[in-house]
Amino acid sequence: MNVSSKQIQWFPGHMFKSLREIREKVKLMDIVLVLLDARLPFSSMNPELTKIVDKKPILLLFNKMDLSDERILNQYISLYEAKGYHTLKIDAQTGKNVNKINALAREVLKDKLDREKAKGLKERPLRTMILGIPNVGKSTLINTLSKSGATKTGNTPGVTKAQQWIKMGSDFELLDTPGVLWPKFEDQTVGMHLAVTGAIKDKILPETEVVFYALNFLKTHYLKRLTEKYEITANDDLQAMLDKIGTKRGCLVRGGEIDYDRVYTIVLTDIRNKQLGGLSFDRPETLSV
């Protein structure tokens, strides 16, 4: 099934307010932490945010690193570093590499901090904000950095609705911000990738299209994993795949008919929870930074 040619638009009202507040507050920051989904190094890079913080030092954090295809992720990191970005792969949920953020941020700001020290100023917490699209793991990262449950977290995109300052010991004074998408996705592939990974709420796009796209993608790039996970064959078309998955997983209703809504949920849940291994949906040959 082809993705609809119609532009995908999803921009809740609170996001306009968030963008305005980010513009106002960014001048107070020493450095900006931009959190990306490691499975979507291109699609999760909000172009509106990078325009706003263009003149501030930026540290790109690739979150959910263990959910991604490491080979593809490393290709994107090389592309971003070639453009002058500082990068770090992390997993906010487990805390992997999170303890490296402060040292790397201070390395990026070394000249500025050396000037302050030369003026006799004491070492201080860095002022920063974490920016990223919904459901990329901002609140989880903040909780891990602060070693507390100071912010509300959840798997539903858009949990954080307002800005709040959080002091993290002697390392950071951090301004939390809601996840912000951009008004429309010019590239329909970007919209699909955000939908498959849960960055935009389910049902924003037709679930049938999202699942068909995901299965087609897996068949193209991760065929062995797909066939082994669901006991299907390379020759099965999409309908046959859904029928086999539904039958094997017991997604049946009265009369032996398959409940496809349950099948869709199974496929998306498996993708998002690494049941098919680390996946990267963005590919440098089609979505380049």
- Residue 66 vs residues 79, 151, 159, 187, 220: alpha-carbon distances, Å: 20, 23, 23, 26, 21
State the pTM of this model. 0.87
The percent of residues in the chain predicted with pLDDT above 90, rounded, is 61
Q: CATH number of the domain at 8-176, out of 3.50.50.60, 3.40.50.300, 3.40.50.1980, 3.30.160.20?
A: 3.40.50.300
Which CATH fold topology does 185-272 show?
A: Conserved Hypothetical Protein Ylqf; Chain: A; domain 2 (1.10.1580)
pLDDT tens digits along 1-59: 344 444 555 555 556 677 777 888 888 899 999 999 999 999 999 887 778 887 899 99
130 has a pLDDT exceeding 60: yes
21, two tokens: 């507040």
What pLDDT is attached to residue 281?
97
Contacts of 28 (CB under 8 A, 6+ apart): 127, 175
Cα atoms found within 13 Å of the Cα of residue 190, Cβ hemisphere only: 22
**Residue 42: both structure tokens together:** 């291109």
Tokens in use for 166?
């959080």
pLDDT digits (tens, 9 = 90+) for 221-255: 999 999 999 999 999 999 999 999 999 999 999 88
E strand spans, 113-239: 126-131, 164-168, 172-176, 184-185
The residue extents of the domains of the chain are 8-176, 185-272
- CB-CB contact of 88 with 130 (8 Å): no
pLDDT of residue 1: 39
The closest alpha carbon to 177, from 166, 191, 186, 164, belongs to 164
Amino acid identity for residue 244 in this structure: K
Contacts of 137 (CB under 8 A, 6+ apart): 35, 37, 63, 64, 92, 93
Q: Please tell me the number of Cα atoms within 13 Å of 159 on its side-chain side.
A: 15
- C-alpha span between 61 and 125 (Å, rounded): 19
Name the more confident of 178 and 162. Answer: 178
The pLDDT score that the predictor gives to residue 161 is 47
